[in-house]
Amino acid sequence: MIRLTPTETRRRGVAGYERGQGPHGGPRRGRDSQDRERRPGAGGSRSATRCRPRPAFEPLRAARTAGIEVRIEGDYLFLEAPALPPAQILEVLARHKPGIVALLRPGADGWSAEDWQVFFDERAGISEFDGGLPRPEAEASAFACCVVEWLNRNPVRSPPGRCLACGAGDHAHDPLVPFGTETAGHVWLHSRCWPAWYAGRKAEAVAALAAMKIATCETLTMTAQGAAAG
């Protein structure tokens, strides 16, 4: 096993690496995204790669493609492979180690940024290659799926008797209604409060995904242009 240490020193010949035994098992990704990455379109089109720089994701995917299992424990990266990985791959992983650690660290909903990226790429690939959609439309569809998935994985609950949005109680002309599912729980809202509350929830999902660089190329381009203009 190869262990990447937080110090990222060069004392042992390869930047940031020490050869040693580490614990087996440990946290793994929530889904078998390696299989999904092998599906047509899972890696995205060339245009998508150009507009969505992924300095940590691409080396990580290259390592997995080479048969290297990468996982984290704290600030350590642990690599497991049938044989010593090529020095070129090790050097790239060391260079991008902080980003890879952040990419693999699970969020509060149990998914890491890598999980979300794979989910987005898979949905976009299905829409583009199986559904025949142009890449911009395929990405828009994939992003909509991500928003719904984020909302499902980050549910909001509230007790009955008071509207979560306006704080008022039941009204004869506008009674409180439970929105949600039995599994995720319910949010109690007035019907008139639902549209604005749900729009806020979607904006929360979009912001959370954007923080992980999950967005359409059009959105990322507009964001970059706005930042440059500012």
Q: For residue range 129-187, what is the model confidence (pLDDT) as tens digits?
A: 999 999 999 999 999 999 999 999 999 999 999 999 999 999 889 999 999 888 888 99
Whether residues 32 and 146 fall in one domain: yes
Whether residues 54 and 146 fall in one domain: yes
Is residue 71 helix, strand or coil?
A: strand
Whether residues 185 and 111 fall in one domain: no
Whether residues 83 and 50 fall in one domain: yes
Whether residues 95 and 119 fall in one domain: yes
Tally DSSP H helices, then E strands, for the chain: 9, 6
What is the spatial distance between Cα 44 and Cα 51, in angstroms, rounded to a whole number? 11
Whether residues 28 and 118 fall in one domain: yes
Half-sphere exposure of 92 (CA within 13 A, CB side): 13
Whether residues 98 and 169 fall in one domain: no
Q: Tell me which H or E stretch contains 122.
A: helix 113-125
**What pLDDT digit, counting tens, does each position of 86-137 carry?**
889 989 998 999 999 999 999 999 999 999 999 999 999 999 999 999 999 9
Q: What is the domain range of residue 168?
A: 159-190
What number is the average pLDDT over the span 185-192?
Answer: 94
Whether residues 219 and 111 fall in one domain: yes
Whether residues 81 and 167 fall in one domain: no
Whether residues 8 and 108 fall in one domain: yes
